[in-house]
Amino acid sequence: QVQLVESGGGLVQPGGSLRLSCATSTSVMFITTMGWYRQAPGKQRELVATITRDSNANYADFVKGRFTISRDNAKNTVYLQMNSLQFADTAVYYCIATVFISPAWTDYWGQGTQVTVSS
């Protein structure tokens, strides 16, 4: 089965930056849309950003102008550059990839990486 491995989380001060990465640990035949969700304590998991294979990106309103999603199709990797981080950005961040394994498309999730914004 497909495995997604996340990295880049950590502790950062308000106004700081982090860059998250999510890579497949094994080769896959084809990946379409990839993205990032996050879940803060006491809240439901929410969509942060998505990106299609041809790099068409969509963002949640609360990250527009601060976060940038990108991908490297050759490496089957998706990134999330997070700038101007705020206390409200503290959450566990999860990546997702929609993968074709004949005969079906299936969503796979990363293990989650903690982002903590604190002074």
Torsion of CA 44, 13, 83, 76, to 10 degrees: -70
Residue 74: predicted pLDDT: 87
CA separation, residue 51 to residues 54, 80, 84, 90, 100 (Å): 8, 11, 21, 22, 16
Q: What is the pLDDT of residue 81?
A: 98
Mean pLDDT, each 10-residue run in order, the chain (119 residues) = 93 98 80 96 97 96 97 93 98 95 91 97
Contact 33, 108 (CB under 8 A): no
